[in-house]
Structure 1
Amino acid sequence: MQGVPHQFNHPTDQAEFRLPAHRAGIELYRAHIVRHAFEPHVHDGFGLGAIEAGVERFRYRGADHLAPPDSLVTMNPDELHTGRAETEGGWLYRMVYIEPSVVDEVTGERGWWFGDVVSEDATGARRVTALLDALWAAREPLAFDSLLLQLMDAFRHHARIPRRARPEAASRFAGVIDYLRAHLAERVTLDELAAVAGLSPFHFLRQFQARHHATPQQMLMAFRLSEAKRRLTAGEAPAQVAAATGLADQAHLTRAFARRYGVTPARYQRQLQR
Protein backbone atom coordinates (compact mmCIF):
# COMPACT_ATOMS: atom_id res chain seq x y z
CA MET A 1 0.00 0.00 0.00
CA GLN A 2 1.45 3.36 -1.03
CA GLY A 3 2.49 5.70 1.74
CA VAL A 4 3.04 2.92 4.31
CA PRO A 5 6.77 2.05 3.98
CA HIS A 6 7.75 4.82 6.41
CA GLN A 7 5.53 3.14 8.98
CA PHE A 8 5.96 -0.57 8.30
CA ASN A 9 8.61 -2.97 7.12
CA HIS A 10 6.31 -4.56 4.54
CA PRO A 11 4.03 -2.84 2.00
CA THR A 12 1.00 -4.97 2.83
CA ASP A 13 0.91 -4.03 6.52
CA GLN A 14 -2.11 -1.84 7.32
CA ALA A 15 -3.66 -0.46 10.48
CA GLU A 16 -6.58 1.94 10.98
CA PHE A 17 -8.19 3.58 14.01
CA ARG A 18 -11.58 5.22 14.47
CA LEU A 19 -13.13 7.07 17.42
CA PRO A 20 -16.92 7.48 17.74
CA ALA A 21 -17.55 11.19 18.12
CA HIS A 22 -20.38 10.80 20.63
CA ARG A 23 -18.92 8.16 22.94
CA ALA A 24 -15.66 8.76 24.81
CA GLY A 25 -13.49 5.90 26.01
CA ILE A 26 -13.87 3.75 22.90
CA GLU A 27 -11.45 3.20 20.03
CA LEU A 28 -12.05 0.91 17.06
CA TYR A 29 -9.09 -0.71 15.31
CA ARG A 30 -8.64 -2.99 12.32
CA ALA A 31 -5.44 -4.25 10.78
CA HIS A 32 -3.70 -6.70 8.50
CA ILE A 33 -0.15 -7.24 9.73
CA VAL A 34 2.40 -9.34 7.85
CA ARG A 35 5.90 -8.32 8.89
CA HIS A 36 5.51 -5.63 11.53
CA ALA A 37 6.39 -6.66 15.10
CA PHE A 38 4.69 -4.58 17.79
CA GLU A 39 6.96 -3.67 20.65
CA PRO A 40 5.68 -4.01 24.25
CA HIS A 41 2.83 -1.57 24.82
CA VAL A 42 -0.34 -1.15 26.87
CA HIS A 43 -3.88 0.12 26.36
CA ASP A 44 -5.82 2.12 28.93
CA GLY A 45 -8.88 -0.02 28.36
CA PHE A 46 -9.80 -3.60 27.61
CA GLY A 47 -8.59 -4.90 24.24
CA LEU A 48 -11.40 -7.07 22.85
CA GLY A 49 -11.45 -8.49 19.37
CA ALA A 50 -11.33 -11.38 16.95
CA ILE A 51 -8.87 -12.93 14.51
CA GLU A 52 -10.40 -13.29 11.04
CA ALA A 53 -7.45 -14.90 9.23
CA GLY A 54 -3.88 -15.94 9.93
CA VAL A 55 -2.26 -16.48 13.31
CA GLU A 56 -0.87 -13.91 15.72
CA ARG A 57 1.87 -14.65 18.25
CA PHE A 58 2.14 -12.30 21.21
CA ARG A 59 3.59 -12.14 24.68
CA TYR A 60 1.20 -11.37 27.53
CA ARG A 61 1.64 -11.83 31.28
CA GLY A 62 5.05 -13.39 30.78
CA ALA A 63 3.94 -16.13 28.36
CA ASP A 64 3.70 -16.55 24.59
CA HIS A 65 0.24 -17.02 23.09
CA LEU A 66 -1.06 -17.94 19.64
CA ALA A 67 -4.33 -16.53 18.37
CA PRO A 68 -5.58 -18.58 15.38
CA PRO A 69 -8.39 -17.77 12.94
CA ASP A 70 -11.87 -17.59 14.49
CA SER A 71 -10.50 -16.95 17.97
CA LEU A 72 -11.36 -14.22 20.44
CA VAL A 73 -8.75 -12.01 22.09
CA THR A 74 -9.58 -10.58 25.52
CA MET A 75 -6.89 -8.38 27.07
CA ASN A 76 -7.22 -6.56 30.38
CA PRO A 77 -6.28 -2.88 30.77
CA ASP A 78 -2.64 -1.90 31.30
CA GLU A 79 -1.29 -5.39 30.56
CA LEU A 80 1.98 -5.15 28.65
CA HIS A 81 1.91 -7.14 25.40
CA THR A 82 3.57 -7.51 22.00
CA GLY A 83 2.36 -8.86 18.64
CA ARG A 84 3.69 -10.39 15.43
CA ALA A 85 2.59 -12.75 12.69
CA GLU A 86 3.04 -16.47 13.13
CA THR A 87 1.86 -17.31 9.59
CA GLU A 88 3.47 -16.26 6.33
CA GLY A 89 0.52 -14.20 5.17
CA GLY A 90 0.25 -12.33 8.45
CA TRP A 91 -2.97 -12.00 10.42
CA LEU A 92 -6.16 -10.05 9.89
CA TYR A 93 -8.04 -8.85 12.96
CA ARG A 94 -10.38 -6.29 14.48
CA MET A 95 -10.37 -4.87 18.00
CA VAL A 96 -12.19 -2.43 20.22
CA TYR A 97 -10.29 -0.71 23.03
CA ILE A 98 -12.81 0.24 25.68
CA GLU A 99 -12.21 1.82 29.06
CA PRO A 100 -13.47 -0.10 32.12
CA SER A 101 -15.87 2.71 33.10
CA VAL A 102 -17.56 2.40 29.70
CA VAL A 103 -17.90 -1.37 30.13
CA ASP A 104 -19.50 -0.73 33.53
CA GLU A 105 -21.92 1.77 32.01
CA VAL A 106 -22.87 -0.33 28.99
CA THR A 107 -23.29 -3.64 30.83
CA GLY A 108 -24.58 -2.37 34.17
CA GLU A 109 -21.99 -4.61 35.84
CA ARG A 110 -18.80 -3.68 37.65
CA GLY A 111 -15.51 -5.50 37.71
CA TRP A 112 -15.27 -7.29 34.38
CA TRP A 113 -11.96 -9.16 34.09
CA PHE A 114 -10.64 -11.83 31.73
CA GLY A 115 -8.59 -14.84 32.73
CA ASP A 116 -7.96 -16.31 29.25
CA VAL A 117 -6.43 -14.00 26.69
CA VAL A 118 -7.28 -16.27 23.72
CA SER A 119 -10.46 -18.33 23.33
CA GLU A 120 -11.06 -20.58 20.34
CA ASP A 121 -14.72 -19.83 19.74
CA ALA A 122 -15.52 -19.83 16.02
CA THR A 123 -19.16 -18.84 16.41
CA GLY A 124 -18.36 -16.10 18.89
CA ALA A 125 -15.43 -14.81 16.87
CA ARG A 126 -17.46 -14.52 13.69
CA ARG A 127 -20.22 -12.71 15.57
CA VAL A 128 -17.66 -10.30 17.07
CA THR A 129 -16.08 -9.68 13.66
CA ALA A 130 -19.47 -8.85 12.16
CA LEU A 131 -20.34 -6.54 15.07
CA LEU A 132 -17.00 -4.73 14.89
CA ASP A 133 -17.48 -4.24 11.15
CA ALA A 134 -20.95 -2.83 11.81
CA LEU A 135 -19.63 -0.53 14.55
CA TRP A 136 -16.97 0.79 12.16
CA ALA A 137 -19.61 1.61 9.56
CA ALA A 138 -22.17 3.03 12.02
CA ARG A 139 -22.56 6.81 11.81
CA GLU A 140 -25.74 7.29 13.85
CA PRO A 141 -25.09 7.38 17.63
CA LEU A 142 -28.15 5.28 18.48
CA ALA A 143 -27.14 2.58 16.01
CA PHE A 144 -23.59 2.58 17.36
CA ASP A 145 -24.68 2.28 20.99
CA SER A 146 -27.11 -0.53 20.19
CA LEU A 147 -24.36 -2.47 18.45
CA LEU A 148 -22.00 -1.76 21.34
CA LEU A 149 -24.38 -3.43 23.78
CA GLN A 150 -24.56 -6.46 21.48
CA LEU A 151 -20.76 -6.57 21.35
CA MET A 152 -20.45 -6.54 25.13
CA ASP A 153 -23.03 -9.31 25.29
CA ALA A 154 -20.86 -11.37 22.92
CA PHE A 155 -17.98 -11.17 25.41
CA ARG A 156 -20.12 -11.53 28.54
CA HIS A 157 -19.66 -15.26 29.15
CA HIS A 158 -15.87 -14.96 28.75
CA ALA A 159 -15.58 -12.35 31.51
CA ARG A 160 -15.00 -13.03 35.18
CA ILE A 161 -17.34 -11.00 37.37
CA PRO A 162 -16.56 -9.69 39.89
CA ARG A 163 -12.86 -9.24 39.30
CA ARG A 164 -10.76 -11.46 41.52
CA ALA A 165 -8.42 -9.84 44.02
CA ARG A 166 -4.90 -9.43 42.78
CA PRO A 167 -1.90 -10.80 44.67
CA GLU A 168 -0.44 -8.69 47.48
CA ALA A 169 2.50 -7.71 45.26
CA ALA A 170 0.10 -5.84 43.00
CA SER A 171 -0.93 -3.45 45.78
CA ARG A 172 2.72 -2.92 46.68
CA PHE A 173 3.47 -1.87 43.12
CA ALA A 174 0.29 0.16 42.62
CA GLY A 175 2.09 3.20 43.97
CA VAL A 176 4.97 2.58 41.59
CA ILE A 177 2.58 2.43 38.64
CA ASP A 178 0.99 5.69 39.78
CA TYR A 179 4.44 7.25 40.15
CA LEU A 180 5.45 6.22 36.63
CA ARG A 181 2.23 7.69 35.20
CA ALA A 182 2.78 10.93 37.11
CA HIS A 183 6.39 11.37 35.94
CA LEU A 184 6.24 10.49 32.25
CA ALA A 185 8.25 13.53 31.18
CA GLU A 186 11.01 13.00 33.74
CA ARG A 187 14.10 10.83 33.96
CA VAL A 188 12.96 8.37 36.61
CA THR A 189 15.62 6.40 38.52
CA LEU A 190 15.56 2.90 39.95
CA ASP A 191 16.28 4.28 43.41
CA GLU A 192 13.19 6.53 43.23
CA LEU A 193 10.91 3.65 42.26
CA ALA A 194 12.40 1.34 44.87
CA ALA A 195 11.78 3.99 47.53
CA VAL A 196 8.13 4.21 46.50
CA ALA A 197 7.82 0.44 46.90
CA GLY A 198 9.80 0.39 50.15
CA LEU A 199 12.39 -2.05 48.81
CA SER A 200 16.08 -1.99 48.01
CA PRO A 201 16.69 -1.09 44.35
CA PHE A 202 17.59 -4.43 42.84
CA HIS A 203 15.22 -6.40 45.05
CA PHE A 204 12.51 -4.07 43.77
CA LEU A 205 13.67 -4.59 40.18
CA ARG A 206 13.51 -8.38 40.50
CA GLN A 207 10.09 -8.30 42.17
CA PHE A 208 8.64 -5.81 39.71
CA GLN A 209 9.80 -7.82 36.72
CA ALA A 210 8.45 -11.03 38.22
CA ARG A 211 5.06 -9.39 38.82
CA HIS A 212 4.67 -7.48 35.54
CA HIS A 213 6.86 -9.57 33.21
CA ALA A 214 8.55 -6.35 32.15
CA THR A 215 11.14 -3.93 33.45
CA PRO A 216 10.05 -0.57 34.91
CA GLN A 217 11.61 1.11 31.86
CA GLN A 218 9.50 -0.99 29.49
CA MET A 219 6.42 -0.14 31.52
CA LEU A 220 7.34 3.56 31.55
CA MET A 221 7.72 3.58 27.77
CA ALA A 222 4.40 1.80 27.38
CA PHE A 223 2.72 4.42 29.56
CA ARG A 224 4.46 7.23 27.67
CA LEU A 225 3.11 5.97 24.36
CA SER A 226 -0.35 5.38 25.81
CA GLU A 227 -0.40 8.99 27.03
CA ALA A 228 0.96 10.16 23.67
CA LYS A 229 -1.94 8.40 21.98
CA ARG A 230 -4.42 10.13 24.29
CA ARG A 231 -2.89 13.55 23.61
CA LEU A 232 -2.82 12.99 19.86
CA THR A 233 -6.48 12.02 20.05
CA ALA A 234 -7.15 15.36 21.74
CA GLY A 235 -5.51 17.14 18.80
CA GLU A 236 -2.14 18.12 20.29
CA ALA A 237 0.74 18.59 17.86
CA PRO A 238 3.21 15.69 17.75
CA ALA A 239 6.13 17.91 18.82
CA GLN A 240 4.21 19.02 21.91
CA VAL A 241 3.21 15.45 22.64
CA ALA A 242 6.82 14.28 22.46
CA ALA A 243 7.91 16.91 24.96
CA ALA A 244 5.02 16.22 27.33
CA THR A 245 5.65 12.48 27.44
CA GLY A 246 9.40 12.46 27.98
CA LEU A 247 10.44 11.43 24.47
CA ALA A 248 13.58 12.95 22.98
CA ASP A 249 11.87 14.68 20.05
CA GLN A 250 9.17 14.28 17.43
CA ALA A 251 11.25 11.76 15.47
CA HIS A 252 11.55 9.60 18.59
CA LEU A 253 7.78 9.80 19.06
CA THR A 254 7.18 8.83 15.43
CA ARG A 255 9.43 5.77 15.63
CA ALA A 256 8.14 4.61 19.01
CA PHE A 257 4.47 5.21 18.15
CA ALA A 258 4.69 3.35 14.85
CA ARG A 259 6.45 0.40 16.47
CA ARG A 260 3.68 0.03 19.03
CA TYR A 261 0.53 1.00 17.16
CA GLY A 262 1.39 0.42 13.51
CA VAL A 263 0.86 3.99 12.30
CA THR A 264 2.73 7.28 12.61
CA PRO A 265 1.29 9.98 14.91
CA ALA A 266 0.37 12.17 11.92
CA ARG A 267 -1.44 9.36 10.14
CA TYR A 268 -3.21 8.39 13.35
CA GLN A 269 -4.55 11.92 13.76
CA ARG A 270 -5.69 12.03 10.13
CA GLN A 271 -7.60 8.78 10.55
CA LEU A 272 -9.43 10.15 13.58
CA GLN A 273 -10.54 13.22 11.62
CA ARG A 274 -12.37 11.25 8.95
Structure 2
Amino acid sequence: MTFEQEQRHVYYDTDLKIEAYHLTGIVQPFPNHFHDYYVIGFVEGGRRHLWCRDREYDLSAGDLVLFNPRDSHRCSPRNGEILDYRAVNIPADIMKSAAHEVTGQPYTPFFTQNVVYQSDITSALNDLYTGIVEISSRFEKEEAFFLLLEQIFREYSSPFEQSSTAEPDNKIKAVCAYMEDHFSDNISLDDLTALAGLSKSYFLLLFTKQVGVSPYRYLQSIRIERAKKLLEQGIPPIDTAAMTGFSDQSHFSRFFKDFIGLTPRQYQKIFQTDKHSKKEASTNEHEH
Protein backbone atom coordinates (compact mmCIF):
# COMPACT_ATOMS: atom_id res chain seq x y z
CA MET A 1 0.00 0.00 0.00
CA THR A 2 1.37 3.40 -0.91
CA PHE A 3 1.71 6.53 1.16
CA GLU A 4 -1.08 8.20 -0.83
CA GLN A 5 -3.54 5.64 0.58
CA GLU A 6 -2.93 6.79 4.13
CA GLN A 7 -5.95 8.51 5.67
CA ARG A 8 -6.24 10.37 8.96
CA HIS A 9 -9.67 11.49 10.10
CA VAL A 10 -10.06 13.59 13.24
CA TYR A 11 -13.32 14.71 14.85
CA TYR A 12 -13.82 17.12 17.74
CA ASP A 13 -16.94 16.72 19.86
CA THR A 14 -18.01 19.97 21.50
CA ASP A 15 -20.41 18.19 23.88
CA LEU A 16 -17.83 15.88 25.42
CA LYS A 17 -14.86 18.14 24.57
CA ILE A 18 -12.74 15.24 23.33
CA GLU A 19 -11.16 14.26 20.01
CA ALA A 20 -11.77 11.05 18.07
CA TYR A 21 -9.08 9.78 15.69
CA HIS A 22 -9.31 7.25 12.88
CA LEU A 23 -6.07 6.30 11.11
CA THR A 24 -6.17 3.94 8.14
CA GLY A 25 -3.45 2.56 5.88
CA ILE A 26 -0.70 4.08 8.04
CA VAL A 27 2.87 3.07 7.24
CA GLN A 28 4.57 5.93 9.10
CA PRO A 29 6.55 5.14 12.27
CA PHE A 30 5.84 7.57 15.12
CA PRO A 31 8.85 8.95 17.03
CA ASN A 32 9.26 8.91 20.79
CA HIS A 33 6.92 11.54 22.26
CA PHE A 34 4.19 12.12 24.83
CA HIS A 35 0.88 13.95 25.14
CA ASP A 36 -0.69 16.13 27.82
CA TYR A 37 -3.95 14.18 27.53
CA TYR A 38 -5.19 10.62 28.03
CA VAL A 39 -5.43 8.32 25.01
CA ILE A 40 -7.74 5.30 24.76
CA GLY A 41 -7.32 3.50 21.45
CA PHE A 42 -7.47 0.15 19.72
CA VAL A 43 -5.89 -1.51 16.73
CA GLU A 44 -8.40 -2.32 13.99
CA GLY A 45 -5.95 -3.89 11.60
CA GLY A 46 -2.26 -4.46 11.00
CA ARG A 47 0.53 -5.05 13.47
CA ARG A 48 2.79 -2.59 15.29
CA HIS A 49 5.73 -2.72 17.64
CA LEU A 50 5.19 -0.32 20.55
CA TRP A 51 7.67 0.98 23.10
CA CYS A 52 6.11 2.63 26.17
CA ARG A 53 7.44 3.28 29.68
CA ASP A 54 10.46 1.00 29.24
CA ARG A 55 8.39 -1.92 27.96
CA GLU A 56 7.89 -3.37 24.48
CA TYR A 57 4.68 -4.72 22.98
CA ASP A 58 3.66 -6.41 19.74
CA LEU A 59 0.22 -5.08 18.82
CA SER A 60 -2.36 -6.61 16.51
CA ALA A 61 -6.07 -6.21 15.72
CA GLY A 62 -8.26 -6.18 18.84
CA ASP A 63 -5.61 -4.85 21.22
CA LEU A 64 -6.48 -1.93 23.52
CA VAL A 65 -3.97 0.89 24.09
CA LEU A 66 -4.05 3.17 27.15
CA PHE A 67 -1.76 6.18 27.57
CA ASN A 68 -1.62 8.48 30.58
CA PRO A 69 -0.56 12.09 30.11
CA ARG A 70 3.24 12.21 29.73
CA ASP A 71 3.58 8.48 28.99
CA SER A 72 6.46 8.48 26.51
CA HIS A 73 5.87 6.11 23.60
CA ARG A 74 6.83 5.32 20.02
CA CYS A 75 5.81 2.70 17.49
CA SER A 76 6.78 1.28 14.12
CA PRO A 77 5.26 -1.19 11.62
CA ARG A 78 5.93 -4.90 11.92
CA ASN A 79 7.02 -6.48 8.66
CA GLY A 80 5.86 -3.40 6.77
CA GLU A 81 2.18 -3.95 7.65
CA ILE A 82 -0.20 -1.01 7.51
CA LEU A 83 -2.03 0.23 10.59
CA ASP A 84 -5.75 0.86 11.08
CA TYR A 85 -6.41 2.48 14.45
CA ARG A 86 -9.17 4.31 16.33
CA ALA A 87 -8.77 6.37 19.49
CA VAL A 88 -10.22 9.10 21.66
CA ASN A 89 -8.04 11.81 23.20
CA ILE A 90 -9.32 13.09 26.55
CA PRO A 91 -7.88 16.28 28.12
CA ALA A 92 -6.73 15.82 31.72
CA ASP A 93 -9.32 18.21 33.17
CA ILE A 94 -12.16 16.47 31.30
CA MET A 95 -10.93 13.06 32.48
CA LYS A 96 -10.67 14.21 36.08
CA SER A 97 -14.22 15.60 35.98
CA ALA A 98 -15.56 12.43 34.35
CA ALA A 99 -13.72 10.27 36.90
CA HIS A 100 -15.46 12.19 39.68
CA GLU A 101 -18.79 11.47 38.01
CA VAL A 102 -18.02 7.76 37.66
CA THR A 103 -16.51 7.13 41.10
CA GLY A 104 -18.42 9.69 43.16
CA GLN A 105 -15.23 11.10 44.64
CA PRO A 106 -12.25 13.24 43.60
CA TYR A 107 -10.18 10.92 41.46
CA THR A 108 -7.32 11.41 39.02
CA PRO A 109 -6.97 8.09 37.18
CA PHE A 110 -3.69 6.41 36.30
CA PHE A 111 -3.82 3.63 33.71
CA THR A 112 -1.98 0.68 35.22
CA GLN A 113 -1.54 -1.09 31.86
CA ASN A 114 -0.59 0.49 28.55
CA VAL A 115 -1.71 -2.49 26.47
CA VAL A 116 -4.55 -4.96 27.00
CA TYR A 117 -4.39 -7.74 24.45
CA GLN A 118 -7.63 -8.80 22.73
CA SER A 119 -9.79 -6.66 25.01
CA ASP A 120 -13.59 -6.66 25.01
CA ILE A 121 -13.42 -2.95 25.93
CA THR A 122 -12.70 -2.15 22.27
CA SER A 123 -16.43 -2.64 21.62
CA ALA A 124 -17.35 0.09 24.14
CA LEU A 125 -14.69 2.35 22.67
CA ASN A 126 -16.05 1.80 19.17
CA ASP A 127 -19.55 2.72 20.41
CA LEU A 128 -18.22 6.05 21.69
CA TYR A 129 -16.25 6.69 18.51
CA THR A 130 -19.29 5.94 16.35
CA GLY A 131 -21.50 8.23 18.44
CA ILE A 132 -19.07 11.11 17.90
CA VAL A 133 -18.64 10.53 14.17
CA GLU A 134 -22.36 10.04 13.48
CA ILE A 135 -23.25 13.09 15.61
CA SER A 136 -25.51 11.16 17.97
CA SER A 137 -27.47 12.89 20.72
CA ARG A 138 -25.58 14.22 23.71
CA PHE A 139 -27.41 11.68 25.88
CA GLU A 140 -26.18 8.77 23.77
CA LYS A 141 -22.60 10.02 23.62
CA GLU A 142 -22.40 10.71 27.36
CA GLU A 143 -23.75 7.26 28.12
CA ALA A 144 -21.14 5.63 25.88
CA PHE A 145 -18.40 7.81 27.39
CA PHE A 146 -19.19 7.03 31.02
CA LEU A 147 -19.78 3.32 30.40
CA LEU A 148 -16.38 3.10 28.70
CA LEU A 149 -14.60 4.91 31.52
CA GLU A 150 -16.34 2.91 34.24
CA GLN A 151 -15.06 -0.33 32.72
CA ILE A 152 -11.51 0.97 32.31
CA PHE A 153 -11.39 2.47 35.82
CA ARG A 154 -12.64 -0.80 37.32
CA GLU A 155 -10.12 -3.02 35.53
CA TYR A 156 -7.09 -0.97 34.51
CA SER A 157 -6.81 2.13 36.67
CA SER A 158 -5.68 3.24 40.10
CA PRO A 159 -5.55 6.68 41.75
CA PHE A 160 -2.69 8.68 40.28
CA GLU A 161 -1.31 9.27 43.77
CA GLN A 162 -0.87 5.50 44.20
CA SER A 163 0.95 4.94 40.91
CA SER A 164 4.34 3.32 41.16
CA THR A 165 5.89 5.55 38.51
CA ALA A 166 9.17 7.00 39.80
CA GLU A 167 9.38 10.77 39.71
CA PRO A 168 12.45 12.54 38.30
CA ASP A 169 14.86 13.99 40.85
CA ASN A 170 14.82 17.69 41.66
CA LYS A 171 17.52 18.65 39.15
CA ILE A 172 15.64 17.02 36.28
CA LYS A 173 12.33 18.46 37.50
CA ALA A 174 13.89 21.93 37.44
CA VAL A 175 15.05 21.41 33.85
CA CYS A 176 11.58 20.22 32.79
CA ALA A 177 9.99 23.26 34.44
CA TYR A 178 12.48 25.54 32.71
CA MET A 179 11.64 24.10 29.27
CA GLU A 180 7.91 24.39 29.95
CA ASP A 181 8.29 28.06 30.95
CA HIS A 182 10.72 28.98 28.14
CA PHE A 183 9.61 26.71 25.28
CA SER A 184 9.45 29.65 22.86
CA ASP A 185 13.10 30.58 23.52
CA ASN A 186 16.13 29.29 21.65
CA ILE A 187 17.11 26.81 24.38
CA SER A 188 20.52 25.14 24.12
CA LEU A 189 21.96 22.03 25.71
CA ASP A 190 24.43 24.33 27.48
CA ASP A 191 21.50 26.16 29.11
CA LEU A 192 20.08 22.91 30.48
CA THR A 193 23.34 21.38 31.69
CA ALA A 194 24.25 24.65 33.45
CA LEU A 195 20.88 24.57 35.21
CA ALA A 196 21.33 20.93 36.23
CA GLY A 197 25.01 21.29 37.08
CA LEU A 198 25.88 18.15 35.11
CA SER A 199 28.10 17.24 32.17
CA LYS A 200 26.37 16.99 28.80
CA SER A 201 26.82 13.25 28.46
CA TYR A 202 25.65 12.40 31.98
CA PHE A 203 22.76 14.86 31.77
CA LEU A 204 21.48 13.32 28.53
CA LEU A 205 21.62 9.81 29.98
CA LEU A 206 20.03 10.80 33.30
CA PHE A 207 17.24 12.89 31.75
CA THR A 208 16.29 10.23 29.21
CA LYS A 209 16.29 7.49 31.86
CA GLN A 210 14.15 9.45 34.32
CA VAL A 211 11.73 11.18 31.93
CA GLY A 212 11.47 8.56 29.19
CA VAL A 213 12.38 10.88 26.32
CA SER A 214 15.49 12.87 25.48
CA PRO A 215 15.64 16.58 26.46
CA TYR A 216 15.25 17.69 22.85
CA ARG A 217 12.27 15.39 22.30
CA TYR A 218 10.75 16.65 25.56
CA LEU A 219 11.07 20.25 24.42
CA GLN A 220 9.56 19.50 21.01
CA SER A 221 6.65 17.64 22.65
CA ILE A 222 5.94 20.66 24.86
CA ARG A 223 6.10 22.95 21.83
CA ILE A 224 3.71 20.77 19.82
CA GLU A 225 1.18 20.64 22.68
CA ARG A 226 1.31 24.44 23.01
CA ALA A 227 1.02 24.81 19.24
CA LYS A 228 -2.13 22.70 19.21
CA LYS A 229 -3.78 25.11 21.65
CA LEU A 230 -2.85 28.12 19.51
CA LEU A 231 -4.11 26.47 16.33
CA GLU A 232 -7.38 25.61 18.07
CA GLN A 233 -7.75 29.33 18.86
CA GLY A 234 -7.36 30.23 15.17
CA ILE A 235 -3.75 31.50 15.28
CA PRO A 236 -2.25 31.07 11.76
CA PRO A 237 0.35 28.28 11.47
CA ILE A 238 3.13 30.72 10.52
CA ASP A 239 2.50 32.75 13.69
CA THR A 240 2.07 29.62 15.79
CA ALA A 241 5.49 28.40 14.63
CA ALA A 242 7.14 31.64 15.76
CA MET A 243 5.27 31.68 19.08
CA THR A 244 6.31 28.15 20.00
CA GLY A 245 10.03 28.37 19.30
CA PHE A 246 10.31 26.75 15.87
CA SER A 247 12.90 28.27 13.55
CA ASP A 248 10.51 28.42 10.57
CA GLN A 249 7.13 27.15 9.39
CA SER A 250 8.63 24.26 7.41
CA HIS A 251 10.45 22.99 10.49
CA PHE A 252 7.25 23.36 12.53
CA SER A 253 5.10 21.54 9.95
CA ARG A 254 7.50 18.61 9.76
CA PHE A 255 7.58 18.10 13.53
CA PHE A 256 3.82 18.60 13.88
CA LYS A 257 3.10 16.00 11.19
CA ASP A 258 5.53 13.53 12.80
CA PHE A 259 3.90 13.91 16.22
CA ILE A 260 0.21 14.37 15.36
CA GLY A 261 -0.14 12.75 11.93
CA LEU A 262 -1.68 15.91 10.42
CA THR A 263 -0.23 19.15 9.12
CA PRO A 264 -0.89 22.25 11.29
CA ARG A 265 -3.40 23.54 8.75
CA GLN A 266 -5.27 20.24 8.62
CA TYR A 267 -5.45 20.13 12.40
CA GLN A 268 -6.71 23.72 12.58
CA LYS A 269 -9.54 22.96 10.14
CA ILE A 270 -11.11 20.65 12.72
CA PHE A 271 -11.91 23.68 14.86
CA GLN A 272 -13.11 25.90 12.03
CA THR A 273 -16.32 23.96 11.30
CA ASP A 274 -19.46 23.87 13.37
CA LYS A 275 -20.10 20.95 15.65
CA HIS A 276 -22.68 19.34 13.34
CA SER A 277 -20.20 19.07 10.48
CA LYS A 278 -17.90 16.17 9.74
CA LYS A 279 -14.38 17.21 10.72
CA GLU A 280 -11.67 15.24 8.99
CA ALA A 281 -8.31 15.55 7.29
CA SER A 282 -6.32 13.32 4.99
CA THR A 283 -2.62 13.09 4.26
CA ASN A 284 -3.58 13.20 0.60
CA GLU A 285 -4.01 16.95 1.12
CA HIS A 286 -0.52 18.35 0.56
CA GLU A 287 -0.65 21.27 2.96
CA HIS A 288 2.06 22.97 5.00
Whether these two folds match at TM > 0.5 is: yes
Supply the distance in 2 between the matched residues of 1:193 and 1:62 (Cα, whole angstroms): 24
8 A Cα contact 2:167 2:210, kept in partner: no
User: Is 1:140 aligned to residue 137 of structure 2?
Assistant: yes
- Corresponding residue for 1:80? 72
Measured after TM superposition, the shift of residue 143 of structure 1 is: 3.1
User: TM-score normalized by structure 2?
Assistant: 0.83
Number of aligned residues: 266
Counterpart amino acid of residue 98 in structure 2: V
Supply the distance in 1 between the matched residues of 2:138 and 2:238 (Cα, whole angstroms): 33
- Corresponding residue for 1:241? 240
8 A Cα contact 2:124 2:147, kept in partner: no
Pick which of 135-144 and 47-56 moved more.
135-144
Q: Which runs of 5+ in 2 are unaligned?
A: 101-105, 274-278, 280-288
Supply the distance in 2 between the matched residues of 1:171 and 1:111 (Cα, whole angstroms): 23
Measured after TM superposition, the shift of residue 139 of structure 1 is: 4.7
CA shift in 2, pair 1:225/1:105, >3 Å: same
CA shift in 2, pair 1:155/1:171, >3 Å: farther
Give CA deviations for 1:132-185 in whole Å, capped at 9, x if unaligned: 222332353333322211221232211123442542535553332221111111
8 A Cα contact 2:13 2:132, kept in partner: no
Counterpart amino acid of residue 222 in structure 1: S
- Corresponding residue for 1:225? 224
User: TM-score normalized by structure 1?
Assistant: 0.87
CA shift in 2, pair 1:258/1:169, >3 Å: closer
- Corresponding residue for 1:19? 12
Measured after TM superposition, the shift of residue 32 of structure 1 is: 1.3
Supply the distance in 2 between the matched residues of 1:30 and 1:52 (Cα, whole angstroms): 10
User: Is 1:158 aligned to residue 144 of structure 2?
Assistant: no
Supply the distance in 2 between the matched residues of 1:87 and 1:223 (Cα, whole angstroms): 32
8 A Cα contact 2:127 2:144, kept in partner: no
Supply the distance in 1 between the matched residues of 2:108 and 2:173 (Cα, whole angstroms): 17
SS, match of residue 18 in structure 1:
strand
Supply the distance in 1 between the matched residues of 2:170 and 2:146 (Cα, whole angstroms): 32
Measured after TM superposition, the shift of residue 193 of structure 1 is: 2.4
Supply the distance in 2 between the matched residues of 1:22 and 1:127 (Cα, whole angstroms): 18
Pick which of 193-202 and 114-123 moved more.
193-202
Pick which of 128-137 and 29-38 moved more.
128-137
- Corresponding residue for 2:83? 91
8 A Cα contact 1:18 1:29, kept in partner: yes
Supply the distance in 1 between the matched residues of 2:119 and 2:111 (Cα, whole angstroms): 18
8 A Cα contact 1:50 1:73, kept in partner: yes
SS, match of residue 116 in structure 1:
coil
Pick which of 220-229 and 164-173 moved more.
164-173
CA shift in 2, pair 1:110/1:171, >3 Å: farther
- Corresponding residue for 1:270? 269
Supply the distance in 2 between the matched residues of 1:236 and 1:141 (Cα, whole angstroms): 29
Measured after TM superposition, the shift of residue 87 of structure 1 is: 5.1
Query: Percent same amino acid among aligned pairs?
Result: 24
